[in-house]
Amino acid sequence: METPCARASGLVRSASYARVAAAAGMGRAMGRLSARVLRPRPYAPEGALQCAVVAFDIAGFGDRRRDDEVQLYVRAGLYRILEEAFEDTGVPWRECHREDRGDGVLIVVPALIATELLISPLTERVRAGLRRHNKLSSEPAQIRLRMALHAGHVHFDPYGVAGRTLVHAFRLLEAPAFKTAFAATGRELGCVVSDRLYDDVIRHGPGLIDPDLYDAISVSVKETEARAWVHFPPGAVRPALNTWPHVVAGA
Q: pTM of the full predicted structure?
A: 0.78
Query: How far apart, in whole angstroms, are the C-alpha atoms of residue 116 and residue 39?
Result: 31
Tell me how far CA of residue 48 lies from CA of 150, 162, 171, 203, in angstroms: 16, 9, 21, 27
Does a structural domain hold residue 72?
yes
Using one digit for the tens of pLDDT, what is the confidence trace for 59-110? 999 999 999 999 999 999 999 999 999 999 999 999 999 999 999 999 999 9
Domain count along the chain: 2
Note the pLDDT of residue 111.
93
Q: Is there a contact between 154 and 166 (Cβ–Cβ < 8 Å)?
A: yes
Q: Which helix (H) or strand (E) holds 122?
A: helix 122-135
Using one digit for the tens of pLDDT, what is the confidence trace for 115-174? 999 999 999 999 999 999 999 999 999 999 999 999 999 999 999 999 999 999 999 999
Using one digit for the tens of pLDDT, what is the confidence trace for 17-73? 444 344 444 444 434 433 333 344 555 567 899 999 999 999 999 999 999 999 999
Structural domain range at position 12: 1-39
Sorted by sequence, the CB contacts under 8 Å of residue 229 that are 6+ apart come out as 192, 193, 194, 195, 198, 202, 214, 215, 216, 217
Using one digit for the tens of pLDDT, what is the confidence trace for 174-227? 999 999 999 999 999 999 999 999 999 999 988 889 999 999 999 999 999 999
Note the pLDDT of residue 41.
53
Does a structural domain hold residue 22?
yes
Query: How far apart, in whole angstroms, are the C-alpha atoms of residue 195 and residue 185?
Result: 22
Note the pLDDT of residue 27.
44
Q: Which helix (H) or strand (E) holds 18?
A: helix 4-38
Of 145 and 236, the structure prediction assigns the larger pLDDT to 145
- Are 115 and 18 found together in one domain? no
| Residue 195 belongs to domain with CATH number | 3.30.70.1230
Does a structural domain hold residue 13?
yes
- Are 54 and 30 found together in one domain? no
Q: Is there a contact between 176 and 246 (Cβ–Cβ < 8 Å)?
A: yes
- Are 55 and 26 found together in one domain? no
Q: Is there a contact between 152 and 197 (Cβ–Cβ < 8 Å)?
A: no
